[in-house]
Amino acid sequence: MGIIVQKFGGTSVADPQKIHNVAKAALREQKNGSQVVVVVSAMGHTTDYLVSLAKEVTQNPSPREMDMLLSTGEQVSIALLSMAIQAEGGKSISMNATQVGIITESVHGMARILDVKTEKITKNLDKGRIVVIAGFQGITPDGEITTLGRGGSDTSAVAIAAALNADRCDIYTDVDGIYTADPRIVPTVQKLEQISYEEMLELARVGANVLHPRSVETAKQCNVLMRVRSSFKLEDMGTLILGVDEMEIYKPVAGTAADTSQVRIVLTHVKDAPGNAALLFGKLAENNISVDMIIQSFGRTSGSNDIAFTVNKEDKNQTVKICESLLPELDKSGEVYVDEDIAKVSIVGAGMVDRPGIAAAMFRALADVGINIKMISTSEIKISCLIEKGNEKLAIKTLCKEFNLDCEEAAVVNGDLPPGETK
Ligand code: ADP
Ligand code: ASP
Ligand code: MG
């Protein structure tokens, strides 16, 4: 008998009625002849609430205690869902990451999964039970509780599917598939029947928060067949994510995304000498700070360059501190500037490889609506532009038009936010 892993996000388990609907969806899959594992997130906005609660207690909570706190959200959902399945006449058992054995690195707040023990899951599946597992959390080899980063339940589900060699991992959410842009930004975007792992991974990394990037990475590595589908329209097959070589067609641009979670840091007058960039970015890496876009200016006469780069907002203060501490070594006349008014917009498509003109078309389209580009970065299948914050919705709408990614019909979005408002 094949195994199906279903994952339901926060909106899908936001209240008791919705939890009953999820119970019915799991039982329906079991009746269709599969063994079923359900991975759930915390109810509604519980994790946001827990984060704000911690911030009321202290502005500087320890990462270990944050994980202790945040992991409780998912534990509430698994117990309630298991009760609901039993109340619907089914057999089930809930398990947290410690009970299953979801082993992660010893890093708090963004741990990677190293191993998923399958013994207890399969034992319970073989007894005819639906196994309900807490997403987003793990346990270190020393028994410490960890979390996988915001949105990480997707990754829990895919890792469990990979370990169990499941037939499929269905990510049920509040939209009925992957669209060419966030349907809350552009309501008339196209739904994709399929998208490649490579494109979805880039989209998730550049801000399409419909999937946690590491879930796509894991699915690609372990060949897990993955679908994104609606919790509210169970018969809809959503969007299939598969290898680029299995795609029937691909357009030059498959999708777009906006990201407003970064800040730009500028260091002026960095001495034009070997080792200075290595010193700066080495120090940031040592402190676990990920850098995204980087530009080094061409200092023609002064023997020094300006270096600009982007980091996540949460890393702003620490980054500034590190940069200031390095100034005496880099150049005494240097200064550190912070630019918080930025947004990054990106286009992604496997079809842009070896196709000239896509970047020029993107820059022209943005220019035509008066949007200035502050920084640019590219990969083989992605082009990102840093623009002024506040312009991202116009930019995404413009890019959807430019690359034929919109349509007449409005997308199907369920949840507590009207189209046009981002989370
Ligand atoms: P869940 O709580 O189920 O994990 P998320 O909020 O993490 O749900 O992800 C679903 C949301 O992702 C949607 O409500 C939508 O606003 C957003 N989203 C961003 N980009 C896209 C996209 N390209 N296609 C579909 N949804 C997207
Ligand atoms: N509850 C966690 C969060 O809100 C994990 C998830 O939803 O995937 O980020
Ligand atoms: Mg999510």
Condensed to tens digits (0 to 9), the pLDDT of residues 16-39 reads: 999 999 999 999 999 999 999 999
Residue 419: the pLDDT is 43
How confident is the model at residue 421, as a pLDDT?
A: 46
At 247-263, the pLDDT tens digits run: 666 678 999 999 999 99
pLDDT digits (tens, 9 = 90+) for 372-401: 999 999 999 999 999 999 999 999 999 999
Residue 51 CB partners (closer than 8 Å, separation 6+): 66, 70
Q: What is the pTM of this model?
A: 0.92
Rounded Cα–Cα distance for residues 260 and 389 (Å): 7
Q: Is residue 195 within 6 Å of ligand 1 at its C-beta? A: no
pLDDT at 412 over 80: no
pLDDT value at residue 418: 45
Closest approach atom of ligand 1 to CA 422: 16
As a whole number, mean pLDDT of residues 337-346 equals 97
**Strand (E) or helix (H) holding 293:** strand 291-296
Are residues 34 and 25 in contact, defined by beta-carbon separation less than 8 angstroms?
A: no
Q: Average per-residue pLDDT in the chain?
A: 93
Q: What is the number of the ligand 2 atom nearest to the C-alpha of 151?
A: 8
Which of 175, 229, 344 has most ligand 1 atoms within 8 Å of its beta carbon, as the pocket-test mutant?
175
Find the angle CA(413)-CA(419)-CA(423) to the nearest 5 degrees. Answer: 90
Instruction: Tell me the Cα Rg of the chain.
Output: 23
5-9, 223-227, 248-252: the lowest-pLDDT one: 248-252
- Tell me the average pLDDT across 215-224: 97
The DSSP secondary structure of 101-162, one letter per residue, reads TEEE-S-SSSPPEEEE--HHHHHHHHTTPEEEEESSEEE-TTS-EEE--TTTHHHHHHHHHH
| Amino acid code (one letter) for 375 | M
User: What integer pLDDT is reported at residue 250 of this predicted model?
Assistant: 67
Per-residue pLDDT band for 408 (boundaries 50, 70, 90) equals confident
Pick the residue whose CA is nearest to atom 1 on ligand 1: 9
